[in-house]
Amino acid sequence: MHSIKFSLVYRDMWQSAGKYMPRVDQLTAVAPHIIDVGCFSRIETNGGGFEQINLLFGENPNKALRAWTKPFNEAGLQCQMLDRSLNGIRIQPVPADVRKLMFRVKSAQGTNVARIFCGMNDPRNIIDSIRYARDAGMVTQAALSITFSEVHTVDYYVALAEKLIEGGTDEICLKDMAGIGRPVWLGKIVSGIKKKNPGIPVQYHSHSGPGFAMASILEVARAGAEYIDVSMEPLSWGTGHVDVLAVQAMLKDAGFDVPHVNMDAYMKVRSMHQEFMEDFLGYYISPSNRQMNSLLISSGLPGGMMGSLMSDLETNLNDINRWLKKNDQNPLSPDSLLIKLFNEVEYIWPMLGYPPLVTPFSQYVKNMAVLNVTQLLKGGKRWEIVPDNVWDMLTGKLGRLPAKLAPEIAALAKQEGKEFFTGNPQELYPDKLDEFRREMDKNEWDYGEDEEELFQLAMHPEQYRNYRSGKAKNDFEKDVEKRRKEGGGLYPKAPPMEPDRPASEKTEIVKTGPTTMMVDVNGQQFRVTVSYGADNTTGPADRQSSLSPGENPGKGQHKDLIEVPSPLSGNFYLTKEPSENPKKTGDVIKKGEVLGYIEAMKTYNTIRSDKGGTISEILYENGAEVNEDDPLFVLVPNDQPN
């Protein structure tokens, strides 16, 4: 039996559990003890989400990453990052010059290994990143986004690995992001790769949620995989990853050469993680993420997706039940909605061309399911609202889908006038660094060591600006304080109990705040927070108007004017790209013109006006939280008919 090395997926184990990672002071405090555990060859220090989280804290992500990777580099451990190829380390596509700068910056900051994946498994997107990372002096690891369908066969993955090896990758990773890869099937994939390329190291990454992970690890190790991704308590299992203790014991018993675990150091790290959670991180960790759930086998959603799904469930259930109540229909229970969403994901996934359910496409498919279920419950039809990001996925702007679209979807695209793109997706996203240099110069911002500050602005424009202004830190501190008072995540505040009185004396209590309850879904227990009734919504009167502070007119107050409502609940933005010019009062609008966007569940939904007119008022600030049907714009009608 060969030697097995362990990689601690530190970034992912936090982000599969909740919203945030530890602050830089916490990271640097725990790093020496992680080293002392003694069994890790690699630590996943950064990638998708890490930078944004620092910015949301009000921390400088460049200083945080340099401080975080330093002790690992000094101890001889490799630091690994996750790259989303065309999307870099964000959800939206990234210009090529920004992608190149990213690898130069990350290498200079102490990251050694670049794990590169594409949610479409499009080799063109991955091979570009392989070239950029190798030019920056990094070890390149091309990832196969593992999912299980009629088109995702053993031969499919072995052939994909061959293309990526020909494209120059140093290593291959099987990124089983939902943990739904069947163990024997995964072993056949690794065997197929090793048969053709015995010298290429293979690393296996899985989530424990559906229950296959331990068997899968044993199978891929027997097939020749050298690296296994693992986690540590109290963040192991659930929708996260298997614990290193269990994996080490299993593989040792199977005859593999595995490293020793220093239990004193392990327990020290465990206790520090518990302290971090009690400090603030636990308020952002859904209790449901601590549970395994075999319902995920059929839906194929990634482990980390359960957290966002349960979070979205609260808002969606509130919107749906508000509509049902208004139309004299019975409200929907949380467990009923959850099952409808799982079933809808399973139903629409083949229709959408079987995109592997990994960021960002897992979000796109899940969000499409949410929108479809919502419209069906309201008496509408599927596909009435299709977010811009979903159209980009369907029309080839983000990469080539593994399978053909269903005729129904192809017909809808034609009806909507959508054009299909067959070229290299990077062509659609031209270089932008010069624009961001001009912004840095205008604001007299320092470019930073190795141009790392320029990189942060270019990769995360909105978050970086909020960080520089101090808004991000202020908003974060307010949110933490609110959660400490009201409860949240692993530490919910118990709802008040109604006094025990005779039934004849009891009166109906109208619940206007969120209530935490346990719901049963086919035998699986989930803790969810449910909001009841329309009284719990935050209307325009609770938010600041961008034009008339304190006035904030609500729906129906402009009887002779045109109100443009929000198509769904989310955050309101006037633009989604730095190059766009935001609409302002006095602008003349044509029928069908784009006014702005609603960002909901990590996708952007375009707001268009059904009629022409002149913008009289914009009722919300950029980034404001809005509810479905809230008026966003007020237009003065044109003289001519619309």
Decide which of 233, 262, 284 is a domain's last residue: 284
The CA radius of gyration of the chain, in Å to the nearest whole number, is 25
Distance CA 61, CA 24 (A): 9
| Residue 390 falls inside a structural domain | no
In a domain, 187, yes or no: yes
pLDDT above 50: residue 175: yes
- Tokens 């129904």 locate to 408
Predicted confidence band at 216 (pLDDT cuts at 50, 70, 90)? very high
Note whether residue 38 is domain-resident.
yes
pLDDT score for 517: 43
Q: For residues 332 and 145, what is the distance between their CA atoms, to the nearest angstrom?
A: 35
CATH classification at residue 139: 3.20.20.70
- Indicate left, alpha or beta for 514 from its phi (over 0: left) and psi (-120 to 50: alpha): beta
Average pLDDT (215-233) is 98
Distance CA(540)–CA(555), nearest Å, equals 9
Give the dihedral of Cα atoms 6, 11, 17, 18; nearest 10 deg: 180
On average, the pLDDT of the chain sits at 86
Average pLDDT on 50-75 reads: 95
Distance from C-alpha of 9 to C-alpha of 290, rounded to nearest angstrom: 17
Nearest Cα neighbor of 246 from 254, 135, 552, 466 is: 254
Q: How far apart are CA 19 and CA 128, in angstroms?
A: 30
Residue 44: strand pairing partners = 80
Residue 590 domain-assigned (yes or no): yes
Residue 395 clears pLDDT 90, i.e. is over it = yes
Give the domain extent around 80.
5-284
Residue 415 lies inside a defined structural domain of this protein: no
Using pLDDT thresholds of 50, 70 and 90, give the confidence band for residue 303: low
Q: What is the CATH number of the domain that holds 555?
A: 2.40.50.100
In a domain, 623, yes or no: yes
Is 344 domain-assigned?
no
CA dihedral 182, 185, 187, 190 (to 10 degrees): -120
How many domains is the chain partitioned into structurally? 2
Task: Determine the distance from the C-alpha atom of residue 640 to the mean position of all C-alpha atoms in its chain, rounded to a whole number.
Answer: 45
| 541-564 pLDDT, tens digit each | 333 333 333 334 444 444 568 889
Choose one of 284, 317, 343: the last residue of a domain: 284
Span 365-381, average pLDDT: 88
pLDDT tens digits for 256-272? 999 999 999 999 999 99
The pTM is what? 0.80
Cα separation of 557 and 575, whole Å? 26
E-only strand ranges, 151-287: 171-176, 202-206, 227-230
Residue 110 has pLDDT above 50, yes or no: yes
Question: Is 159 part of a structural domain of the chain?
Answer: yes
Does position 292 have pLDDT exceeding 90, yes or no? no
Q: Which of 254, 284, 314 is the last residue of a domain?
A: 284
